[in-house]
Amino acid sequence: MTRPDAPASTAALVRRWVPTDEVPPITALLHRAYAGQVAMGLKPLAGRQDNDVTRRRLSSGESFVAIDAGRVVGVIILNEQEPDEGPDWFHKPRVCSFSQFAVEPSVQSRGVGRALLGAVEARAKELGNDELALSMAEPDHALRDYYVRRGYRIVTTWRWPYTNYTSLIMSRRLK
């Protein structure tokens, strides 16, 4: 639902993250964006990671940022190379995944998330994939509903060693 004071879309520019981008503002953005899950008693990595972990994660895949008025307002990683094995679904042929997806809370419902997802969906297709998958905290029903509205379906569950909850592995066919 769009807030009454929120315009229908944003002028945010989505571009590739580059190693010269400042990491501390991205880490702070992640902490703000995942604060709702932390308030639920969950321990998502993105909600508590430090700048070194943020940089490692951003460097491990194809990362995109959304920029508005000169500041990062969103972030997402395509094909993050996790140090942990991850769910079998992520390793299937022609399936790729995204992670560390976050939008600044003050600009949510303005199209930033849609633009970031659009960028990774387009890139996943360019890479020859048929499916785009994700991992999300099972207890976050609002987030699950967001992905269902975007055409994602639950394919399995997974337990990451660094969280305190079961994750839903969701996926959608790329058109």
Q: Identify the CATH number of the domain in which residue 139 sits.
A: 3.40.630.30
- Any domain includes 7: no
- Any domain includes 121: yes
- Any domain includes 70: yes
Which tokens sit at 71?
Answer: 């500041």
pLDDT in tens, 42-88: 999 999 999 999 999 999 999 999 999 999 999 999 999 887 778 99
Vertex 61, ends 133 and 53: CA angle to 5°? 105
**What values do phi and psi take at 68, rounded to 5?**
-140, 125
For residue 59, which amino acid is it? Answer: S
- Any domain includes 82: yes
**What values do phi and psi take at 118, rounded to 5?**
-60, -40
Q: What is the CA radius of gyration of the chain?
A: 15
- Any domain includes 40: yes
How are strands ordered across the β-sheet holding 167-173?
13-16, 62-68, 71-78, 95-103, 131-137, 167-173, 153-158
* pLDDT at residue 75, as a whole number: 98
Domain that holds residue 58: 13-173
pLDDT in tens, 156-173: 999 998 899 999 999 999
- Any domain includes 135: yes
Total domains in the fold of the chain: 1
Pick the more confident residue, 133 or 7. Answer: 133
- Any domain includes 5: no
Closest CA to 33 of 114, 124, 101: 101
Residue 74, beta-bridge partner list = 66, 103
- Collapsing DSSP states into helix, strand and coil, what is residue 140? coil
- Any domain includes 3: no
Residue 18 CB-density burial (10 A; 0-12 exposed, 13-18 middle, 19+ buried): exposed
